Chain A
């Protein structure tokens, strides 16, 4: 059973546009929802994370929107730039399991 479902698999956006990636989870015990950015040949880099006590968190051009009742959260990248072209992973964690469970990833391409 896939604990976190990420969509879309790939996304092409024009420079200056908004990129939106979605994730849905099953287990209501999850209480930590990070997004990671990975460039080819590099390890994933923590981008932004949210806890379920808030519905939105913004850091620069990156925003997480969180819908607890729908068990969904999304990453919004405003004013997308070619340098944002990378693979993005959502993840979930919670309780005392000490691990991150990742979505399958979204390959974002921002065209100049």
Chain B
């Protein structure tokens, strides 16, 4: 069974631009979560989607948004990029909830 896939793997953007990251969950998984990983703050929860509905959102500004499609694939968008948004963005999927979440390889975003 294929794992969680994320595209693109690497991205370089300029401050003020916006970016969209994509995640394809493990087949059959309906819950998709997004996390931001930085050396200073560690792994922080962004949001979780199940059946196209956002069920929980972390403590991030409104510039961070996401959505889930009917096939469970998910995207997250960051608008008006700031230097501090440079991070590894990780997507994780599970059947439901936080139990047995499996992570993708991440998208490394660099904002210059």
- Smallest beta-carbon distance B33→chain A, Å: 7
Which of B42, B98, B100, B106 contacts A43, CB < 8 Å? B106
Which of B44, B48, B100, B102 contacts A98, CB < 8 Å? B48
List of A residues within 8 angstroms of B104 by Cβ = 43
List of B residues within 8 angstroms of A41 by Cβ = 105
B81 at the interface (CB under 8 A from A): no
Which of A36, A89, A99, A104 contacts B98, CB < 8 Å? A99
The size bracket of the interface on A is 20 to 34
Which of B35, B92, B99, B105 contacts A32, CB < 8 Å? B99
- Smallest beta-carbon distance A95→chain B, Å: 9
List of B residues within 8 angstroms of A42 by Cβ = 105-106
Chain B residues engaging chain A, CB cutoff 8 angstroms: 4, 31, 33, 35, 42-45, 48, 50, 55-56, 58, 90, 92, 97-106
Chain A residues engaging chain B, CB cutoff 8 angstroms: 32, 34, 36, 41-46, 49, 89, 93, 96-105
9 A-B pairs closest in CB distance: A43-B103, A93-B98, A102-B43, A99-B45, A98-B48, A98-B56, A43-B105, A44-B103, A100-B98
